[in-house]
Structure 1
Amino acid sequence: MRLVQAELFKIRTTSLWWIMAIILVPLYAASILLNWLAANVGGAAAGDNEQVRVSLEPVNVATNLYTSGQYFGILIVLLLSAIVVTSEFFHLTATTTFLVTPRRESVVLAKFGASVIVGLAVWAFTTVLNLIFAPLILRDLGLGAQLGEPAVWRAVGLNALAYLLWAVLGVGAGVLIRSQIAATLVLAITYVVGTQAVGIVFILLSNNVAKWFEKLQVIVPTTASQLMVSGTELPGNPPRWVGAAVLIAYAVVGGVVGTMITKSRDIS
């Protein structure tokens, strides 16, 4: 526990965490406003599309609003978790850290623990804001707060799991890319641009090769996260548990690989 506290202290003593926090606020605001707009205009665009129609059912609109901010919140968690590792090399403290605690796996586990706490803190922050603003938006839409629906609370809980797993992925990525600047740029670009590019590839494959390619989008981590927090199962989409399983698999691989590399790599 003391090692986890030490890692949290390192995070608190850098300016990057509050810069990320400041960035998160307008990104969260944009997310919930976009979800509000989507719910307002979605009905006119639904037509005969069964998936869109189901997504506009009150419980699904509610789960979307109560998990607002996931996309950008997870990006912040991913970057902060990677920085938990890369900051050691940026500030040249890695050698000291491993001399003080020779068992490297203990240090790595502490970094995982600290990153998970950061991830859950970001989840709690966005969830509190969602519990304030989402009921107001839902009442404006004439749908009621929907807080009596078990699906809403399940989505909120699975959203916490998504933040936790992305925190683990961030530490694993930080081990692979030790440069703080490179890790921040590579992860941010891959998360935002890479996700969109892969999505377009799957759409093209689905439209021109075979429809079943559309369901394979769940192997993209961001898509898996979004699938986890859907209120009900949408037509044509895999079940929610598939999204959870995909993200858990990524986190386990990232965690194991990150620990093994840290144990075997020379530290200078």
Structure 2
Amino acid sequence: MTATLQAPPAAHRPEIAHVGVPGLRLVRSELRKITTTNAWWLFGIASLVFTGLALFINMSEAAQHIARARDTAAVFKPGRGMGAAEVAAARAEFAQLHDLHLQAVNAAGNIFTSGQFFGLLLVMLLGALVITNEFQYQTATATFLTTPQRTRVVLGKLLAVLGLGFVFWLVSRAVSLAAGLVFFDNLGLTNSLGEWPVQRAVIFNLVAYLLWALLGFGLGTLIHSQIGAVVTAMVVYLGGFVGGMGVFNLIRAYLIHGDWVLTSAVVMPSIASQVMVSPEKLYPQAASWWVGVLVLTGWALVAGAIGVVLNRRRDIA
């Protein structure tokens, strides 16, 4: 007779409950990855410097425009040889330049959104770095193996990118708001914060920061090289505005003679961004501000969707 030895039953392992919201832990993890590098504070300093320079320029121009609008002795004098239509256009321009309320509103919109041109570029670069850092420091494999549900990881990155965009917007707007309030108080003018064009400029300035951060995220997904992503982002942003307007002006001058050609330049994301945050028309033939909102939103959603799909499907071995 033989006896069969049976192994003792395995001890029951107690289940340890997760603490906190999983999604928030992923967002904190992504933010920690960014703050452990030098990029975030270097970009933060650059954002403050650009905001300060933009404030100085915008305030100088605003002071000149407001002083001219306050000149009650100015009289409209049409130039010699001007036709009736030219005289009417010149008179309308003169009236706008000497409309104190209009000049104060335009000045407020520019001052309270100071630093946005380069600030948007910086958040776009940060959005790209959130992705490219994973491949630069070879942490992508560990990230996805630690959290196999890639959708959650990608959404965590997206929320972290949007959070960074919001923080950069908030700090820049706090600085420009404080400086702007002092500026208008010294001139004895209302700050125009109750005017819709100024409110729209500030609100959609925030939207622009979030959308450009999302665009950077999508770009970083397409280009893993950190240098390549940074260079491409700068070309897309800076070249898209300067070069884009140049191309559309050439088309209008030599190929298609119509103002709608310049209006259609809003399809470029850089131009759409400037159109939607400007308190007044960016240029005479510019599209309406809401068109800029729709165009930039479309570009950002496409970039974000590409980023989600590629990160979920890409081989990380």
TM-score by length of 1: 0.90
Distance 1:59 1:163, change over 3 A: same
Matched, 1:200 2:242: no
**Please, which runs of 5 or more residues in structure 2 have no aligned partner?**
1-23, 69-88
Bigger Rg over Cα: 2
Q: In the TM superposition, what is the alpha-carbon distance from 1:144 to its structure 2 partner?
A: 2.7
1:33 corresponds, among 51, 56, 64, to 56
How much has 1:242 moved relative to structure 2? 0.6
Query: Deviation of residue 143 (structure 1)?
Result: 4.1
| Identical positions, percent | 40
Decide whether the 8 Å contact of 1:80 with 1:170 is kept in 2. Answer: yes
Aligned partner of residue 90 in structure 2, secondary structure: coil
Contact 2:128/2:229 (8 A) holds in 1 = yes
Q: Give yes or no for the alignment of 1:5 onto 2:28.
A: yes
User: Hey, what's the Cα distance between the residues in 1 that align with 2:127 and 2:188?
Assistant: 40
Q: Highest relative contact order (Cα 8 Å, sep 6+), 1 or 2?
A: 1
SS in 2 for 1:259: helix
Alignment check: 8 A CA contact 1:7 1:114 kept = yes
Tell me which residue corresponds to 2:289.
Answer: 240
More displaced stretch, 120-129 vs 211-220: 211-220
Instruction: Tell me: CA distance 1:33–1:14, structure 2 relative to 1, closer, same or farther (3 Å).
Output: same
Q: Which consecutive unaligned segments of at least 5 residues does structure 1 have?
A: none
Residue 85 of structure 1: how far off its partner (Å): 0.4
SS at match of 1:48: helix
1:188 equivalent to 2:234? Answer yes
Matches for 1:151-166 after TM superposition, within 5 Å? 151-166=197-212
Q: Who is 1:58 aligned against?
A: 104
Whole-angstrom distance in 1 between the partners of 2:184 and 2:252: 34
Checking the alignment, whether the CA contact within 8 Å between 2:48 and 2:172 is kept in structure 1 is no
Q: Report the AA paired with residue 157 of structure 2.
A: K
| Whole-Å separation in 1 of the counterparts to 2:188 and 2:249 | 34
Quick check: which one's helix share is greater?
A: 1
Partner of 2:44: 21
Q: In the alignment, which residue of structure 2 is the partner of 1:99?
A: 145
Correspondences of 1:65-214 after superposition (within 5 Å): 65-139=111-185, 143-208=189-254, 209-210=256-257, 211-214=259-262
Deviation of 1:212 (Å): 1.3
Tell me which moved more, 169-178 or 152-161. 152-161
SS of corresponding position for 1:145: coil
The equivalent of 2:71 in structure 1 is none
**Aligned counterpart, 1:48:** 90
Contact kept? 1:64, 1:229, Cα under 8 Å: no
CA positional deviation for 1:59 = 1.4
What amino acid is aligned across from residue 90 of structure 2 in structure 1? Answer: D
| Further displaced range: 215-224 or 28-37 | 28-37
In the TM superposition, 1:228-267 aligns within 5 A as 228-232=276-280, 236-267=285-316
Per the TM alignment, residue 142 of structure 1 is displaced from its structure 2 partner at its CA by 5.8
Structure 1 Cα separation of the partners of residues 93 and 130 of structure 2:
40
Paired with 2:91 and 2:179, the residues of 1 have a C-alpha distance of 29
Report if aligned partners of 1:116, 1:167 keep a CA contact under 8 Å in 2. Answer: yes
The 3 A distance-change label for structure 1 pair 25 and 232 is: closer
